[in-house]
């Protein structure tokens, strides 16, 4: 019995010692730098093309991990979620499983370190974020990599991921810079109509864009998101929303939280004929999206309204 206990203790100590040693070992790195942000990253990472609001993106060919580095100007009056964790994720209204949040002391800045697990299509991935609020903008470094069931070798794989994460975190530096404002905070995509438009916070009277009602909520907040689009003018982004059917998807890619919010149409054809006296409402505490355009086409006699319900929150990568 004593031999068995001794052997077990020895194995645990050995595994921990090797793992900690491996996790803290130096790894070969390269350096990324532009006029605004700099950091070290593992030398085997391959730079890939980033999406909107992303400064740069990488892929780790060995582990399959994807990494995005983003910056989004903070709209006037925007309330940053506590610890950068969206309210709807805290309420478990998503595929995200919130794991932990910590204060992160970076090289020159203070930020937050958040960890999630994401379950989708019977597959679990791990999602780790670094967030910094500076220069009037929100910066994020997001790691998304496959998560496997525990086995003894996963300790070593985990240490590789930890070492890579720490290499970036411990070297991340965001320079003080005067940035241009950006009224675009995301995009809206309607798959059934194959259209995508910028979501703006400044005006509806512009081509290729729709407008978020300022009295409505932002994606990720516990309240109704309201989006207005022209029916016949300025690219006519909402020319055909009256044709949407119940169950059709409407997707918002939100650059402020770096999350994708997937909604489904729950009803269509709510017409508000006295919208000037009784404006469209965007209730608090709802996980909903409301699309609004003028009605009939070419006139402003009424507001045509489409109601959508949130069905999932996904990574933006």
pLDDT digits (tens, 9 = 90+) for 13-61: 444 444 434 444 578 999 999 989 999 999 999 999 888 889 999 999 9
Is 117 among the domain residues? yes
pLDDT score at 158: 56
Task: Tell me: do 110 and 133 sit in the same domain.
Answer: yes
Task: Tell me: do 265 and 163 sit in the same domain.
Answer: no
Task: Tell me: do 16 and 165 sit in the same domain.
Answer: yes
Indicate the residue among 156, 174, 192 that finishes a domain: 174
Task: Tell me: do 148 and 195 sit in the same domain.
Answer: no
Task: Tell me: do 166 and 306 sit in the same domain.
Answer: no
Is 87 among the domain residues? yes
Task: Tell me: do 191 and 147 sit in the same domain.
Answer: no
What CATH code is carried by the domain that includes residue 159? 3.40.1000.10
Indicate the residue among 174, 203, 226 that finishes a domain: 174
Residue of 138, 120, 78 whose CA lies nearest to 129: 138
Measure the CA–CA gap between 239 and 127, rounded to whole angstroms: 37
Measure the CA–CA gap between 121 and 89, rounded to whole angstroms: 19
Task: Tell me: do 44 and 129 sit in the same domain.
Answer: yes
Is 193 among the domain residues? yes
The half-sphere exposure of 98 on its side-chain side, counting CA atoms within 13 A, is 17
Query: How many domains would you assign to the chain?
Result: 2
Residue of 124, 126, 95, 119 whose CA lies nearest to 262: 95
pLDDT score at 181: 81
Per-residue three-class SS string for the chain = CHHHHHHHHHHHHHHHHHHHHHHHCCCCEEEEECCCEEEEEECCCEEECCCCCEEEEEECCCCCCEEEEEEEECCCCCCCCHHHCCHHHHCCCCCEEEEEEEEEECCCCEEEEEEEEEEECCEEEEEEEEEEEECCEEEEEEEEEECCCCCCCHHHHHHHHHHHHHHHHHHCEECCCCCCCCCEEEEEEEHHHCEEEEEECCCCCCCCEEEECCCCCCCCCCECEEEECCCCCCCCCCCCHHHCCCCCEEEEEECCCCEEEEEEEEEEEEEECCCCCCCCCCCECCCEEEEEEEECCCCCCEEEEEEEEEEEEEECC
Task: Tell me: do 167 and 234 sit in the same domain.
Answer: no
CB atoms under 10 Å from CB of 300, counted, come to 11
User: Which residues, given as ranges, of the chain have pLDDT below 50?
Assistant: 1-24, 149-156
Task: Tell me: do 207 and 269 sit in the same domain.
Answer: yes
pLDDT score at 27: 87
N residues, the chain:
317
Torsion sign (Cα): 262, 126, 115, 258: negative
Is 311 among the domain residues? yes
Is 179 among the domain residues? no
**Geometric angle at alpha carbon 70, from 107 and 73, rounded to 5°:** 95
pTM comes to: 0.88
Task: Tell me: do 220 and 162 sit in the same domain.
Answer: no
Cβ neighbours of residue 238 under 8 Å, at least 6 residues apart?
210, 228, 229, 230, 231, 291, 292, 293
Is 121 among the domain residues? yes
Q: Look up the domain containing 235 and give its range.
A: 184-315
Is 241 among the domain residues? yes
Task: Tell me: do 143 and 54 sit in the same domain.
Answer: yes
In the numeric block, which tokens belong to residue 317?
Answer: 């990568």
Task: Tell me: do 9 and 138 sit in the same domain.
Answer: yes
Is 265 among the domain residues? yes
Indicate the residue among 144, 174, 204 that finishes a domain: 174
What CATH code is carried by the domain that includes residue 286? 2.40.260.10
pLDDT score at 6: 44
Q: How far apart are the first and last CA of the chain?
A: 52
């Amino acid at each position: 019995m004593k031999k068995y206990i001794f052997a077990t203790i020895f194995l645990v100590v050995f595994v921990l010692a090797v793992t900690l040693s491996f996790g803290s070992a130096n790894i070969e790195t390269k350096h990324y730098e532009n006029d605004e942000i700099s950091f070290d990253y593992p030398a085997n990472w391959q730079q890939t093309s980033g999406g909107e609001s992303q400064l740069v993106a990488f892929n780790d060919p060995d582990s399959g991990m994807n990494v995005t580095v983003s910056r989004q100007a903070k709209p006037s009056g925007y309330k940053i979620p506590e610890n950068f964790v969206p309210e709807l994720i805290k309420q478990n209204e998503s595929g995200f499983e919130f794991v932990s949040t910590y204060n992160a002391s970076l090289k020159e800045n203070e930020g937050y370190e958040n960890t999630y697990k994401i379950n989708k299509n019977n597959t679990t991935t791990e999602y780790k974020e670094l967030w910094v609020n500076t220069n009037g903008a929100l910066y994020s470094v997001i790691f998304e990599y496959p998560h496997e069931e525990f086995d003894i070798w996963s300790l070593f794989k985990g240490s590789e991921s930890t070492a890579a994460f720490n290499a970036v975190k411990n070297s991340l530096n965001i320079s003080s810079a005067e940035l241009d404002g950006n009224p675009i905070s995301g995009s809206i995509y309607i798959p059934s109509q194959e259209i995508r438009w910028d979501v703006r916070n400044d005006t509806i009277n512009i081509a290729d864009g729709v407008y978020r009602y300022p009295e409505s909520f932002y994606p990720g907040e516990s309240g109704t998101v309201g989006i207005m689009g022209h029916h016949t003018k300025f690219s006519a982004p909402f020319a055909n929303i009256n044709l949407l059917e119940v169950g059709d998807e409407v997707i918002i890619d939100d650059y402020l939280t770096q999350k994708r919010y997937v909604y489904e149409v729950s009803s269509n054809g709510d017409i508000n004929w006295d919208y000037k006296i009784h404006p469209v409402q965007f209730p608090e505490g709802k996980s909903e999206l409301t699309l609004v355009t003028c009605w009939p086409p070419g006139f402003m006699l009424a507001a045509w309204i489409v109601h959508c319900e949130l069905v999932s929150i996904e990574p933006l990568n």
